[in-house]
A and B are shown apart, each in its own frame.
Chain A
C-alpha cells in the first residue's frame, strides 16, 4: 500500500488545472463576440461566488440566505477603492481592486459571522436572512456609501496602461477575471484538503461529536465563514471592475437566493458542482431571460425538479452516470434514456407552450391574441387551441410517466448489478 493511496490530494491534478486554464485562455478566441466575452467574464465571477458559497452550503452544511452581503459589500468597497485610490495614486494598480473587495468581504464576515456562526441549522439560516435584510435596508438608508437608487459608478481605465493593459477593452478585463478565477478555484480546492476543510465536513455531518474530539464547532464554522467571505468579496470586486457600477441590488435577497439556487443546481456535494452552477447562472440570467419573460418560472420549476429527483445537482448526475459508464452499465440504459429524453422534451414543450400562452394573454394582450411559439401560431383567444394544447399535454405527460417508470426500473436494476459486482469484488481475495 503506497502512501499516496491514503494521503490523497493537495493541490489537485495539475493536468486538470492546466485544462481549466487552457479552456479559459481559449474561450474568447472561440467565442469572440462582445456578448460572449461579457458572458465569459460573468461566468468567472459567478464561479467564484458559487464556490465560495459552497464552502458554507456543501462543505459546512450552513444554509446561508445572505451570501450576497459579502459579494455585495466587497463590490461596494472595491468600487470606492477604484474611485479613491486608483485615481489618486497611479501606484495602486487596478488589477488589485478585486483583492480589496476580498479583504472587505473577509472583514464583514469577521463582523457578521461572529454572530451567525454561533448557531447551526435553522437558527443559522434565520440569522443570515436577518443580516441580508439589514444590510439591504442600510444600503438604501446610506446613499453616501451605497449611492442610493443609481448606485456607485466608477471607471476602471485610470492611469497609464501597464504593459499595454489599460483594462479598457472587455477582453482585458476577461483575462484578469480568468486569472482570479483560476487562482481562487485552486485555492478553494486546496482548502478542502486541509485539516480545517475536513473538520468543516465533520461539523456539517455531526457538530456535536466534533466537540468530543477536541474541537470547537463554532470556531470551525466561523473560520470557514471568514474564508468564504474573502472569496465572495473577490467575486464582488471583480464584478465591480467588470460592470463599473454597483447598486443596492448586489446585496439584495434575490442575489443571495440566486447563489443558493445555482450552487444547488450545479451540485453542492462535489467540489466542481458550483463551477457548473456558476456557468448555468450566467446562461440563465443572460440568455434564458432573453428568450422568454417567464424565465424565472422555468428556473423555479427546474429547481423544484432537481430538489425532488436529483438532490446532488448536476454534478452528482454526471458522476453517477460516469460511474455506470466506467463499469459498462450505461450502454444498457441508453434506450431507456432516449425514451426519457424524447418524452421529457415533449412535456417541456407542452408546458412551456402553456406558460407562454398564459403569459401572452396576461402581459402581451396589446400585441393581439396570436403568439408564435417555435414557429407555430397559437391563438390565445380560441378555445380549440387551449383544448388542443391540454389534450397534447395529457398525452405527453402520460407518455413521460410511462417512460420514467421504465427508466427507473432499468436504472435500479443496473445500480443493483453494479453493487453486486462491487460486493463480489470485495469478498474475493
Chain B
C-alpha cells in the first residue's frame, strides 16, 4: 500500500489570499484525489485565477496551506512546485515567442528528463527529449509548424502550444486556466478532445467559463463564489444545489456565461 493511493493529489486547507486590505480568497478548502478532473467555475472576480496562482506558487499564500501529494508547497518557488509534479497553463498566452514551436516544446520536456542546466551536452544528442517534443507536437496538432516561431502562430495555435508546454514536463497534476478562451466553437470541440486524451489518468484542474467544456472535461465541479468554495460535487449534484442556484441567480453580478443553470437548460 503506497501513500499515493490515499493521500489526495491536491489539498487546500483554509487557503487565504489578500491584496492589501481586500481578501480575495477567504478560506478555501478543497480535496482533489489522484486522477480526478475538476472544473472550477464561478462568477468573474470570484478568485479562480488567483487560486491557480496560489497553487502554482506564482503568488504567496496569506494564510492556510496547500498540500501537493501530502507535501506543503508553502514558500516554494514555481519551479520547485513544478518539479514536484504540478504544471499549469495560463489564461493569457504565455509562451516563448522568439523560438520555434519545436524549441518551445523541447524546453518544456528538458527538466523532467533530467538534463538540468547542462551546457556540455548537445540538444541534438538528447534523443528522448527530441522524441518527446516531437510526439507532443503531433499531439497538439502543430507538427506542420515545427520550425515556425511561436509568435508567428495563429491565436488558436498559440493556445495549443500553451497547453503543450504545460503537458511537456509530464506532471501528474495539471492546472489549465481557461484553455479554450477565445477559441471558436469547432476549435474548442477539437481542443477539449485533445486535452481529455492528453491528460488521461492525470489529475486535472481547470478554470472554465464555457459549460460545454466543463461538462466535457470534468467529473467534479467546484463552485467558487467570492473566495469560497460553496459547492464541490458531481456536475448533476452541483446543478441541483440550491446554494449554487442562489449564488448565481440571486446575485446581480453573476456572470451569464458562467451560469450553469442557464447554459445547461
Residues of A whose CB lies within 8 Å of any CB of B are: 3, 6-10, 190-191, 193-199, 201-202, 204-206, 208-216, 219-220, 223, 227, 426
A6-B134, A195-B115, A202-B99 given; A212·B87 CB < 8 A: yes
A60 to chain B, nearest CB (A): 12
Contact of B112 among A197, A199, A214 (CB under 8 A): A214
Residues of B that sit less than 8 Å from A by CB: 56, 77-79, 82-83, 87-88, 90, 94-99, 102-104, 106-108, 110-112, 115-127, 130, 134, 144, 146, 165-166, 168-169
Are A213 and B94 CB-contacts (below 8 A) given A10-B122, A10-B124, A195-B116? no
**Docked-complex contact B123 and A209, CB < 8 angstroms:** no
Most buried by A among B102, B108, B123, B127: B123
Asked if B146 and A6 sit within 8 Å, CB to CB, the answer is yes
Task: Give the CA-CA distance A215 to B108 in the complex, in Å.
Answer: 9
Closest 9 CB pairs of A and B: A214-B111, A7-B124, A196-B119, A211-B78, A205-B96, A10-B122, A194-B119, A214-B82, A202-B96
Report whether A195 and B94 are in contact in the complex, using a CB–CB cutoff of 8 Å: no
* A214–B116 CA distance with the chains assembled, in angstroms: 9
**Would you call A7 and B165 a contact (CB within 8 A)?**
no
Residues on the A chain within 8 Å of B94, using CB: 206, 208-209, 212
B103 touches A201 (CB 8 A): yes
Q: Contact between B98 and A195 (Cβ–Cβ < 8 Å)?
A: no
From A214, A223, A227, A426, give the contact of B79 (CB < 8 A): A214
Closest to A426 in B: B144
| Residues of chain B contacted by A208 (CB below 8 angstroms) | 94
Q: Is the CB of B98 within 8 A of A219?
A: no
**Given A6-B130, A199-B107, CB of A216 within 8 Å of CB of B118:** no
Chain A residues, Cβ within 8 Å of B79 = 210-216
**Other-chain contact of A198, B77, B103, B112, B165 (Cβ < 8 Å):** B103
Nearest residue, chain A, Cβ from B144: A426
A214 to B103, CA, bound (A): 16
Q: How far is the CB of A3 from chain B (nearest CB, A)?
A: 8
Q: Which residues of A contact B103 (CB under 8 A)?
A: 198, 201-202
Measured in the bound complex, the distance between the Cα atoms of B98 and A173 in whole Å is 40
Q: Across the interface, which residues of A come within 8 angstroms of B144, CB to CB? A: 426
How distant is the Cα of A215 from the Cα of B112 in the complex, in angstroms? 10
Q: Which of B108, B116, B117, B119 is the one whose CB lies under 8 Å from A213? A: B108
Q: Is the CB of A216 within 8 A of B77?
A: yes
Contact B169 A213, beta carbon cutoff 8 Å = yes
Contact among B99, B125, B134 with A10 in the assembled complex (CB-CB below 8 Å): B125
Known: A198-B103, A205-B97. A212 touches B88 (CB 8 A): yes
Task: Kindly list chain B residues whose C-beta atoms are within 8 Å of the C-beta of A210.
Answer: 79, 107
Q: Which of B77, B96, B106, B115 has the most CB of A within 10 A?
A: B96
A-B contacts, 20 of them at CB < 8 A, read A3-B127, A6-B130, A7-B123, A8-B124, A194-B121, A194-B122, A195-B123, A196-B117, A198-B107, A199-B107, A201-B99, A201-B103, A205-B99, A206-B96, A209-B90, A211-B79, A212-B87, A212-B88, A213-B169, A216-B79
**Closest residue to B88 on the A side, CB-wise?**
A212
A214 contacts B169, CB within 8 Å? yes
Report the Cα distance A191→B95, complex, angstroms. 23
Within the complex, the shortest CB–CB distance from A10 to chain B, in Å, comes to 4
- Whether the Cβ atoms of A195 and B126 lie closer than 8 Å is yes
Interchain CA distance A199-B116 in the complex, whole Å:
10
Does the CB pair A213–B165 fall under 8 Å? Answer: yes
In the complex the two chains form, what is the Cα distance from A227 to B121 in whole Å?
15
CA distance A357 to B169 in the complex (A): 65
Between A191, A208, A212, A220, the greatest number of chain B beta carbons within 10 A of the residue's beta carbon is seen for A212
Q: Is the CB of B118 within 8 A of A209?
A: no
> Is the CB–CB distance between B102 and A195 below 8 Å?
no
Q: Give the nearest-CB partner of A224 in chain B.
A: B119
* Minimum CB–CB distance for B115 against chain A, Å: 5
Chain A nearest Cβ from B116, distance in angstroms? 7
Quick check: A6 and B82 within 8 Å, CB to CB? Answer: no
The residue that B82 contacts in the complex, of A190, A212, A223, A426, with Cβ under 8 A, is A212
Q: How far is the CB of B217 from chain A (nearest CB, A)?
A: 21
**Which of B56, B111, B127 is close to A215, meaning CB atoms less than 8 Å apart?**
B111
The answer to whether A198 and B99 touch (CB under 8 A), given A211-B78, A214-B169, is yes
Minimum CB distance partner of A220 in chain B: B117
Residues from chain A with Cβ under 8 Å of B125 in the complex: 7, 10
Complex contact B122–A190 (CB within 8 A):
yes
Determine which of A10, A214, A426 lies in contact with B83 in the assembled complex, contact meaning CB atoms within 8 Å. A214
Whole-angstrom CA separation of A206 from B144 in the bound complex: 24
User: Do B119 and A227 touch across chains, with their CB atoms under 8 A apart?
Assistant: yes
Residues of B within 8 A of A219 (CB): 117
Are B116 and A211 in touch, CB under 8 angstroms?
A: no
* Chain B residues, CB < 8 A from A197: 119, 123
- Other A-B contacts than A7-B130, A213-B168, 19 sampled, CB-CB below 8 A, are A7-B125, A8-B124, A10-B122, A10-B125, A193-B124, A194-B119, A195-B118, A195-B123, A198-B106, A201-B96, A201-B98, A201-B99, A206-B97, A210-B79, A211-B82, A213-B111, A213-B169, A215-B117, A223-B119
Q: Are B98 and A223 in contact (CB under 8 A)?
A: no
Most buried by B among A7, A193, A197: A7
A218 to B146, CA, bound (A): 28
**Chain A residues, Cβ within 8 Å of B146:** 6
Bound state CA distance, A199 and B102, in angstroms? 13
Chain A residues whose CB sits within 8 angstroms of the CB of B124 once the complex forms: 7-10, 193
A191 to chain B: closest residue by CB: B119
For the complex formed, measure the closest distance between the CB of A1 and the CB atoms of chain B, giving whole angstroms.
Answer: 9
By beta carbon, the residue of chain B nearest A219 is B117
**Is the Cβ of B82 less than 8 Å from the Cβ of A213?**
yes
Contacts of A193 in B (CB 8 A): 122-124
